[in-house]
Structure 1
């Protein structure tokens, strides 16, 4: 099936708004096989791995290919292209050599783009071993390919280093059975390790172990230790066995949210414990009895705020450590996790645990902002807390932590907070004006235009407003068919240059991560008698163990109990 082409205007990198637009050839629809052939024949001879502002079609293909072609099928097609001399005996030597070189260049670029996802894929390594073996034979036959063999050797060495690092890392243990986010139980490496190695250590892997609780309708529970990629069906079987429940085929694993909403999981779903909402819990129940499930007391969240503890930390200190924590969570996630999340991780049998934890972090900060204010009964202390939260948001913005900035401002814009007129009235006018400026940046009109303009003026690294980027990918997915007439893949959806096309959003995320984050630590207050390390540890622990109310109805009720509605 032939591909369809169209001249498309190139959209500049969002971090380089002054780049001149230029026209380039864009594939609109076609079979994955023809698309791959088109890329090999038109992009690999002149590819420049260091050119970020050039043609992005190959990069976009490699960022989105899991949607429309499996890793195995892609490798098979590359091998077919490599063995063109076996398929077409009469081809010119120059043509054959060029084809084989393109395959090796493609592999190098794939390795550069996919990183760890490439290094850990067994299908890819079987393919590379076959290519290396074929190259060694072809060196004798065609008297060339020494450079290509060196390229593959470089990739193989990177794989060896990766495997050694993973052996040193071992299976990490995580805990998801308490209020608060998913937490590490294993000891993290010291800070003197390289950032790249430390990131491999701190991110969640599919083979890692995670401890979680599974509850029954009567609130009895069992604790399971499972791999992160364990399917819901296995969780159901193990939990039913430990709880003495029979008729497993009639049971379902379900998330019960704090607002009593019930979300059943497919048997094929994986990464269940990390995918829960902030105060959601895993329940096992008969499929016909889900309505009988009631929430646990712990799901209501805290009954007392932590404003007194917050007073120990300056606004800048809090924003600094919030940004360090947020950056680590953001850096842990892989680009492909967003695709798995939007298109359904059960379709890929891949975890989205690192993205789950990062998204949960946003929700925790947003609900924490509301929770602390509605649990503070003293009007004067509530005013001081409101002022402090606005200052924390400002420092987050200065640190280019836009995810936390938006979380706090959206929390302050929640009706449970915005209706507290007595609290807002006592706020100094200067702080009110500052908040109004911040609030204008979260204005969703014209597709969040103000936010997007603000990001264009920033230089990476930065922590983006992740829910919006996820919304962009979801919008592109749900608003455009993956397949068009005659079963052709709609590549315009994947790699097109429209405002929300999937690869463009993934490129934005990659750009946000480029470079190492370097923040100047705030100077410690002289009135603080604690050592700097102890102070930092306490603040880090506070951020990692934030407890919130995520039931909007309860938050609104608490708000009304503080300041009654005026008649």
Structure 2
């Protein structure tokens, strides 16, 4: 039954159409079943038109519809995707189109209960899932002891799991599943399932379809064994193609790596590489391997695996060398300057170049690859940059460059009496190395702790093996070193409190377009510095892979910095609210948006204006509104990076990295696909139209790159209550 809100929205839309373009509902009285209101290939009808004598809207209703139309369209655009999904799921599986199946598959990617399933299984499920809904809390889906006939996934709402004699043992929520155990074991239901709230939606897989998918998966699984143990697991699928001569359709099988030992996966991918073509999407598995190999095969093992043996047949050796050269070029293209971080790896790659150059004299087939290989490999040499608190040199307005792990940094480390010493260490230095550098400067032989002290006085003690801690500090956080008995006496520096007055005088002289332009340009620079591998290091834990994620840390830190900047300025100077509104119109910064939605900082006259932006960042259904919007955009795009990291963490935590001592390559593929979203976002250069040069141009550029903020939540709350006291 439609809600009052939906009925009202339908009435407003109907009145608006009848007022502006009545021909769109030309059949509203007599020909409803034949024509109906049509939009592309979807048909709609209004409940009011079910009546034979449905009245036309009055002038007053026309005026109302005009005033409420924008909000109505916004509401319908929000609920439209869900309604469309339900409409597709209500179709009989045999009636679903390829587009329908793709929409369902995209939805399944973000359901927690399905995170461990392979891409193939998710696509199979898209073809058999059935939508089921129940209106009332207390409805019993099935009882303990009954035969298991279906597996359920909660799309909306929650249910209680009830066991006789124990009562409610747990509650399941959106994204959880239940009922699968009875199907797998062919056993009675182990518990009863009762709706906990009204209007619950489920995806249902019936037993017959469930068992068929399991049979298909096993039937299409190919296992290669050595000494009785699986070493490579492939998924076989039918691939149709057309012969170029007769044009007749022929079929062959393609094999996708699901799991295996690192060496066997590499061997298989090299064998399957096509030498008669450029690197294409058909080699995407090799691209995934190159991107993700740091997780399961370090460089020290990969290099020997690529060298192979010398006793192979000449024809095999030639093709294998060509394949290895192709892989090395792809490896260098993906990893870029990160290859410079390992001296042994650089030496190996240069050795490869020399070997290929020598072979090219005798083997013309690889001669054309030598030049390209030299172009990629020989520039790999370390050029250290000295940073001052992540500002390169004294020139703060120059374009941001990626920070490498071997770059060095000058950093202040404070003592308990607020004196400090400046150390010079590599960006990727461990905490132990930082403490040693400080102790050497201070001439101390005591056991020292390295502590992150926030502006609110909170303390985090770093572990000795933590790496690259400089970029993990909060906005106004500082590094302190002390003995364990001095820990309680550490207090924040006065400078950590942040500014005491707002930037009204400076801000009033700046154009909101100028600020938006320079802020977006700087955000793009920070985003462009983030290497794809940093996302992988962040997901699997940089401590585990012994790598730094400094560029990613600084990009994520910028998001927090912008939020705190807006809140700080408004709390210190409420007159700036109009400037933020104008600025957000030009920049659509997510950080600014999230700040302006706080009720304590937003007046009523702006709430309606921002409702559209608020709805864009609605977190429900796994940020579906944002995802659908971004999917329509063309690069360059600065993505909402926390959401991408959430997706990668979701995949990582929901899937084992190793299954029966074999690399779970399907997991690697899923994470690589998320990383490639970043690659797509940067696939086009960012060349915005610069605003006309003005006297304040350098000042604006400098201002947005060095924001002064208050990051103490207690201080911000006090300032906020000063602007708008708590209601009793």
TM-score class, shorter? 0.7 to 0.9
Query: For the Cα contact (< 8 Å) 2:439–2:445, is it kept in 1?
Result: yes
1:266 is aligned to 463
Q: Is 2:623 the counterpart of 1:439?
A: no
Deviations 1:337-364 (A, max 9, x none): 1222232323333322222221111111
Structure 1 residues 266, 24: closer, same or farther in 2, change over 3 A?
A: farther
Give the C-alpha shift of residue 561 in structure 1. Answer: 1.6
Q: Which residue of 166, 185, 196 corresponds with 2:393?
A: 185
Deviations 1:265-318 (A, max 9, x none): 222223222221211110112346534422222222112111221111122111
Q: Which residue of 531, 537, 562 corresponds with 2:698?
A: 537
Q: Is 2:348 the counterpart of 1:127?
A: yes
- Greater share of strand residues, 1 or 2? 2
CA distance in structure 2 between the aligned counterparts of 1:110 and 1:546, rounded to whole angstroms: 38
2:374 is aligned to 156
2:540 is aligned to 343
Structure 1 residues 235, 56: closer, same or farther in 2, change over 3 A?
A: same
Q: Is 2:317 the counterpart of 1:118?
A: no
Q: Which residue of 578, 589, 593 corresponds with 1:409?
A: 593
Structure 1 residues 303, 102: closer, same or farther in 2, change over 3 A?
A: same
1:549 is aligned to 710
Give the C-alpha shift of residue 554 in structure 1. Answer: 2.0
Deviations 1:484-505 (A, max 9, x none): 22x2122222113xxxxx2112
Q: Is 2:650 the counterpart of 1:475?
A: yes
CA distance in structure 1 between the aligned counterparts of 2:377 and 2:283, rounded to whole angstroms: 28
RMSD (CA atoms): 2.7
| 3-state SS of 2:696 partner | helix
Query: For the Cα contact (< 8 Å) 2:556–2:641, is it kept in 1?
Result: yes
Structure 1 residues 395, 128: closer, same or farther in 2, change over 3 A?
A: same
| 3-state SS of 2:231 partner | coil
Give the C-alpha shift of residue 30 in structure 1. Answer: 1.4
Query: For the Cα contact (< 8 Å) 2:260–2:664, is it kept in 1?
Result: yes
CA distance in structure 2 between the aligned counterparts of 1:514 and 1:65, rounded to whole angstroms: 23
- Greater share of helix residues, 1 or 2? 1
Give the C-alpha shift of residue 76 in structure 1. Answer: 0.9
Structure 1 residues 436, 105: closer, same or farther in 2, change over 3 A?
A: same
1:19 is aligned to none
Give the C-alpha shift of residue 474 in structure 1. Answer: 2.1
2:561 is aligned to 364
CA distance in structure 1 between the aligned counterparts of 2:685 and 2:297, rounded to whole angstroms: 33
| 3-state SS of 2:452 partner | strand
Query: For the Cα contact (< 8 Å) 1:301–1:548, is it kept in 2?
Result: yes
Query: For the Cα contact (< 8 Å) 2:617–2:623, is it kept in 1?
Result: yes
Q: Which residue of 301, 304, 309 corresponds with 1:73?
A: 301
Q: Which residue of 477, 481, 492 corresponds with 2:666?
A: 492
Alignment gaps of 5+ in structure 2: 1-229, 240-252
Alignment gaps of 5+ in structure 1: 11-22, 177-181, 191-197, 398-404, 497-501, 525-531
Structure 1 residues 419, 352: closer, same or farther in 2, change over 3 A?
A: same
1:45 is aligned to 275
1:96 is aligned to 317
CA distance in structure 2 between the aligned counterparts of 1:240 and 1:224, rounded to whole angstroms: 10
CA distance in structure 1 between the aligned counterparts of 2:651 and 2:486, rounded to whole angstroms: 37
CA distance in structure 2 between the aligned counterparts of 1:254 and 1:335, rounded to whole angstroms: 30
1:400 is aligned to none
1:309 is aligned to 506
CA distance in structure 2 between the aligned counterparts of 1:8 and 1:122, rounded to whole angstroms: 42
Give the C-alpha shift of residue 134 in structure 1. Answer: 4.1
CA distance in structure 1 between the aligned counterparts of 2:622 and 2:529, rounded to whole angstroms: 28
Deviations 1:388-446 (A, max 9, x none): 2233223224xxxxxxx111112223xxx4224xx503x3xxx4333111111111111
Aligned counterparts, 1:29-428, within 5 A = 29-45=259-275, 48-49=278-279, 51=280, 54=282, 56-80=284-308, 83=309, 85-86=310-311, 88=312, 91=313, 93-118=314-339, 121-135=342-356, 138=359, 144=363, 146-161=364-379, 163=381, 171-176=384-389, 182-187=390-395, 202-248=401-447, 251-287=448-484, 289-376=486-573, 381=575, 385-397=576-588, 405-413=589-597, 417-420=598-601, 424-425=603-604, 427=605
Query: For the Cα contact (< 8 Å) 2:416–2:490, is it kept in 1?
Result: yes
Structure 1 residues 125, 227: closer, same or farther in 2, change over 3 A?
A: closer
| 3-state SS of 1:2 partner | strand
Query: For the Cα contact (< 8 Å) 1:3–1:30, is it kept in 2?
Result: yes
Q: Which residue of 633, 642, 648 corresponds with 1:458?
A: 633
Instruction: Report which stretch shifted further, 104-113 or 318-327.
Output: 104-113
1:26 is aligned to 256
Give the C-alpha shift of residue 74 in structure 1. Answer: 0.9
Deviations 1:494-549 (A, max 9, x none): 113xxxxx21121011111112111012246xxxxxxx3x5221011111110111
Query: For the Cα contact (< 8 Å) 1:31–1:488, is it kept in 2?
Result: yes
Deviations 1:449-472 (A, max 9, x none): 111111111111121111211222
| 3-state SS of 1:27 partner | strand
CA distance in structure 1 between the aligned counterparts of 2:646 and 2:603, rounded to whole angstroms: 31
Query: For the Cα contact (< 8 Å) 1:119–1:159, is it kept in 2?
Result: no
Structure 1 residues 126, 160: closer, same or farther in 2, change over 3 A?
A: closer
1:528 is aligned to none
Question: TM-score scaled to structure 2, two decimals?
Answer: 0.62
CA distance in structure 2 between the aligned counterparts of 1:25 and 1:312, rounded to whole angstroms: 63
| 3-state SS of 2:603 partner | helix
CA distance in structure 1 between the aligned counterparts of 2:395 and 2:503, rounded to whole angstroms: 28
Query: For the Cα contact (< 8 Å) 1:108–1:151, is it kept in 2?
Result: no
CA distance in structure 2 between the aligned counterparts of 1:294 and 1:259, rounded to whole angstroms: 9
Deviations 1:84-118 (A, max 9, x none): x51x5xx5x43332222211111122222222223
Structure 1 residues 9, 60: closer, same or farther in 2, change over 3 A?
A: farther
Give the C-alpha shift of residue 59 in structure 1. Answer: 1.3
CA distance in structure 1 between the aligned counterparts of 2:332 and 2:535, rounded to whole angstroms: 19
Structure 1 residues 386, 153: closer, same or farther in 2, change over 3 A?
A: same
Query: For the Cα contact (< 8 Å) 2:329–2:376, is it kept in 1?
Result: no
Q: Which residue of 649, 663, 675 corresponds with 1:506?
A: 675
Q: Which structure has the bigger radius of gyration?
A: 2
